[in-house]
Amino acid sequence: MRDDIKFHAFMKMTREAANVSLEETGKGLYTKSMMAQIEKGTTLPDYMMRNRIMSRLGISSEGYEDFLQPDEYKRYQKRMELIKLIESKKFAEAEEQIDQVIFDEDLNLNKLELQFYYDMKARCLHFRKAPWCEVLKMYKKACSLTMILEEVKEKKFGVWAILEYFLLFKFFESGAECSDSTEEISMLAEICMSVLDHLEKSSMDAMGKSKVYTAGVVALGRIAAVDNYNVVDKDSLMKLYDRALEYLKEKSRSYYIFEILEDKLRISKEKGLEEVYDDSKRLLELFSNIYSQNDVEGHMDYNCYIYRDSDIYCIGDVIKSRRQMLQISREELADRVKCSYRTLMRIENGAISAQKAVLRPIMEELNLNCDYTRSDIITTDKEVLNKYHLLINTINNAINSDFRKTYDELNNMIDFSYATNVQVWDSVKYDLLMVEGKINTEQYVEKMKKDLELTLSIPISEIEAGYFLHAELMLLKGIVEYTMDENENSHLMKLLDNYCNEHESEGYPANYGFYEAIMIWIADVYSDENNIEKVEEIAKKLLLLELKSHRLFELHGAMYMLLRNEAKIIAESKMYYEQSIDKIIRICDFINNSVHRDFYISIKQMIDEDKDWKHY
C-alpha cells in the first residue's frame, strides 16, 4: 500500500533537490527547530506559509489547488476583495480597509498577511502621489518581516520567494526615488543589479521568473535613470530587458511588456539603434493596439498578479459539492466515515474546521486527493516533475521538438498506483495516439470513460455540477470532443460550459489552464454551428481575461474566433483580414508557437486566394 504524499515529504524532496538547507529555507519565517518539525510532519503550516516555503524552493503554485478551513478561507476572501479594489483604482476605499486591518491587534495577523497589507498600503500611497519616503516606509516594513535588509545591503542574499523578490525591487525603486544622495542611489542600483543576478541563478522555475524577473528589470531601469546610468549603463540594461522578454516568451506571458518595450524604444532611439528601435516599436504597437482596442490597462503599476497563485477553495464547499455530485446523501457519508451527521453538516456549512482524523476518510470516500501536489502528476521524485513539466510545455506550446524520449522515460518513472496519475498520463498518451492516427475516436472515448470510472463512478449522463479533479476535467474534455453520442456530447458540453462560468473568482477563473482550453474549444464548436452570438460571448470573455491576467497562451485563439465570427456577419476588405491575421501571427511568433503560426499563415493564404476560410 503506497504512502500518501504529505506536504512535509514534498517539501523535503524539493529542498534536497534544490540543495538548500532547512535553515536557509525557513530564515525569516520559522526557527530551524520549527522547520525541522515541519519537515518531519509533526507541524503543518497554513497555506500562505506552505506556498511561501515552496516558492523559496523554486516551485510556483500557479494552477494548483489549496483547500482551506473556514476561518482561513474568510481571511483569503478579504484579501481578494482588497485586490479587486486596488485593481479597480478605488484607492480611498481600499486604504480605509487596510488601515482597519493593520491597526486591529485582535485580528492577530501573521507576518505574511501583514506583508500583503503593507504592499497594498504602499500602492495606495503611490496612487495618491504621497511622498516617496512614505511609500518606502511601507515597503521597508513589508520586506523586514521575512528578510534582513542589512544583510541585503551587504549582498548577503538568502533563499527568497517570488513575492519577496518583488517587494525588494519595490523597496529599491522607492528608495532611489526618495533619496537625495547620489551615492545611495548608485548603491541601490548596484544592489538591485546583484539581486537580479541572484534571481537568475536561483532554482526558481521559469514561471516564477516570468513574474518577478520582469518586475526587477523594470525597477532597475527606473533606478538607473535616477542614477543617470552611472552604475548600470544603457547597453547592460538593454541586455537585461531582452532576457526578461525571453522569460515572457517562454511562459506565454506579458507582465511588464509595455514598460520594457517603452524603455527599449527610448534607449534605442537615443543610441541610434535603428533595428532594435524598429523591432521594439512594432511589438509595442502590436500589444498597445490589442490592449487599447479592448479597453484593458497594459501597464502593471496597480496589477496584483503577483498574488494570484494557487486556486483556493473552502474545504467544506468542496466536500458538499463533491458529495452531491456523487449522489451520496449526508447520512450515508457520515455513516461510511464514522462521524456524526451534525459534524459533517457543520463542516460542509463552514461552521467548524474539519479535524484531520475526520477529514482524511471523508476525502478518501469522495475520491479526493489527500496528497500535496504542485503538478498534475503525484510524485516525490523531482526528476519526474521536471520531465513532466518539460513534456507538457512542449505539447501545450506546440513546440517542434522530439519529445518521444522524455515521454518514454516518464512512462517508466510515473507511479501508476495513483488513480489520478493513470488518468493524467492516459490523457496525454491517448491524445498523442489520436494525433498519430494509431487509434480511432471510438477507442479513445472508451479509454477516457474507463479512466473516469476510477474516481467518478456515476454514469456520464448523471454527472452534474460539482467539484472535479483536474484529471477528471481532462478526461471529460476528451470524451466530449470525440464522442459520437449526440446526447452525451450535448450534456457534457453544457456541463463544462457551466463549470467555466461558475468557477470564476473575482473575475479570474480557477484552474485557468483548463478554462482556456475548454472555452476556446467550445467557441470553436459553436462557430462550426454558426452560433454567432455564443461565439462572440465566449471569445470576447476569454480575450479580456487573457489581457487582464497578462496571459498569451490562448490570446491568438480568442482573436481568431472573433475575427472569423465577424467575417460571417460583415464582409470587410481583403486587406483588413490580412492585417488582422498578421497580428495573430505575430502573437504566435512572440510565444514561439510555430504550429498555430503555420495554421494562421495558411489562413492568410486562403484569404489572399479568395477561398472560404471562415470555417477553419
Confidence (pLDDT) at 85: 94
Confidence (pLDDT) at 506: 47
Residues 236 and 124 occupy one common structural domain: yes
Domain-embedded: residue 278: no
Pairing of strands 508-509, 65-68: unpaired
Domain-embedded: residue 526: yes
470-482 and 512-528 helices, crossing angle to 10°: 10
Residue 296: Cβ within 10 Å count: 15
User: How many structural domains comprise the chain?
Assistant: 3
- Integer Cα distance of 38 and 50 in angstroms: 10
Domain limit, last residue, from 284, 307, 330: 307
Confidence (pLDDT) at 1: 26
Instruction: Give yes or no for residue 149 having a pLDDT over 90.
Output: yes
Residues 30 and 156 occupy one common structural domain: no
Position with higher pLDDT, 504 vs 414: 414
Tell me the per-residue pLDDT of 226-241, one tens digit each, with 9 for 90 and over: 999 999 999 999 999 9
Domain-embedded: residue 511: no
Residues 209 and 341 occupy one common structural domain: no
Domain with residue 211: its CATH number is 1.25.40
Domain-embedded: residue 44: yes
Domain limit, last residue, from 337, 365, 393: 365
What average pLDDT is seen over the chain?
90
Residues 242 and 106 occupy one common structural domain: yes
341-348 and 315-325 helices, crossing angle to 10°: 110
Contact 352, 492 (CB under 8 A): no
Q: Range of 535's domain?
A: 521-616
pTM across the whole model:
0.92
Tell me the per-residue pLDDT of 493-539, one tens digit each, with 9 for 90 and over: 888 888 887 765 545 555 677 788 888 888 888 887 788 888 898 99
- Integer Cα distance of 44 and 238 in angstroms: 44
Instruction: Give yes or no for residue 206 having a pLDDT over 90.
Output: no
Residues 54 and 139 occupy one common structural domain: no
Residues 102 and 51 occupy one common structural domain: no
- The 3 state secondary structure assigned to 139-160 is HHHHHHCCCCHHHHHCCCCCCC
Domain with residue 21: its CATH number is 1.10.260.40
Domain-embedded: residue 405: no
Give Cα separations from 348 to 249, 319, 362, 562 (angstroms).
42, 6, 11, 41
Share of the chain above pLDDT 70, in %: 96
Question: What is the DSSP secondary structure assignment for residue 377, as one 8-state letter?
Answer: S
Tell me the per-residue pLDDT of 251-275, one tens digit each, with 9 for 90 and over: 999 999 999 999 999 999 999 999 9
Burial of 316 (0-12, 13-18, 19+ CB in 10 A): buried
Contacts by residues 281-288 (CB-CB < 8 Å, ≥ 24 positions apart): 282/586, 283/257, 283/586, 283/590, 284/258, 286/583, 286/586, 286/587, 287/254, 287/257, 287/258, 287/261, 288/258
Tell me the per-residue pLDDT of 62-105, one tens digit each, with 9 for 90 and over: 777 788 899 999 999 999 999 999 999 999 999 999 999 888 77
Confidence (pLDDT) at 82: 95
Residues 41 and 101 occupy one common structural domain: no
Please report which confidence band the pLDDT of residue 3 belongs to, taking 50, 70 and 90 as the band edges. Answer: very low
- Residue that is written with C-alpha cell 451527521 in the block: 341
Residues 102 and 218 occupy one common structural domain: yes
Residues 214 and 148 occupy one common structural domain: yes
Confidence (pLDDT) at 355: 85
Residues 526 and 581 occupy one common structural domain: yes
Residues 207 and 100 occupy one common structural domain: yes
Residues 163 and 241 occupy one common structural domain: yes
- Integer Cα distance of 259 and 54 in angstroms: 29
